[in-house]
Amino acid sequence: MKKDLGIKPYLFPMPTYMIGTYNEDDTVDVMMMAWGGICAEDMVALNLEADHKTVANIRARGAFTLAVPGTDTLAESDFFGIASSNKMADKFQRTGLHAVKSTRVDAPVIQEYPLTLECVVERLEDEPYGLRVLGRIVNVLADDSVLDDKGKVDAGKLNAFIFDQMRNGYYSVGPQISKAWSAGAPLMKK
């Protein structure tokens, strides 16, 4: 039997992406976000509350990085979701993480994150719920440690974690359990 829960934003899993931007004084700002993802072959969509410092930075700079954190940076990444750069100017410095300037966009690349998408703002859409940012991916940076022998990203090596907004928990992403478009293929023959 199913129980009626009403209107809830319950979808699982939710991503844990790290948005990297520069503040007006060129210091690094990083924010964890879960409401967004890939929306086209070379596009990402982020849904953000308009009052975030990161939103002001995206509006001012027209660029951002979007990184996938590993479990080895769970504490720092969670902190980026707790602390506000509007209230804590040294937010990034407190973590001890390291950033370098992207060579393609006006945004930082956090060295400890194994996979980073460098993005330029394609469109900003003010909505009643906040801001929708559409970003065009201009490059992807991947640490050698997460690449397979063919130079492709191996999701199992990312040691990524996901967000459960129903119980406010994080879960590590485990090993591959099947090839996509393979497990259901036998049903095509019925």
pLDDT at 129: 83
Residue closest to 134 by CA, chosen among 56, 37, 67, 43: 43
Q: Which residue has the tokens 């100017």?
A: 89
pLDDT at 175: 86
Question: Consecutive 10-residue runs of the chain (190 residues): their mean pLDDT?
Answer: 92 94 97 94 95 96 98 97 93 97 98 98 92 97 97 95 94 90 88
Q: For residue 116, what are the CA distances in angstroms to 43, 105, 108, 109, 111?
A: 14, 12, 10, 7, 9
pLDDT at 55: 96
pLDDT at 130: 86
Residue closest to 57 by CA, chosen among 87, 22, 26, 84: 22
Q: Which residue has the tokens 């973590």?
A: 95
In DSSP notation, 29-89 reads: EEEEE-SEEEEETTEEEEEE-TT-HHHHHHHHHSEEEEEEPBGGGHHHHHHHHHS-TTT-T
If you count them, how many residues does the chain have?
A: 190
pLDDT at 176: 85
Convert 46-79 to b/e letters by CB count within 10 Å (16 or more is b). Answer: bbbeeebbbbbbbeebbbbbbbbbbeebeebbbb
Residues 6+ apart with CB under 8 A from 26: none
pLDDT at 189: 87
Model-level pTM? 0.94
* Domain 17-189 belongs in CATH node 3.90.1150.10: no
| Rounded Cα gap, residues 96 and 110, in angstroms | 11
pLDDT at 174: 86
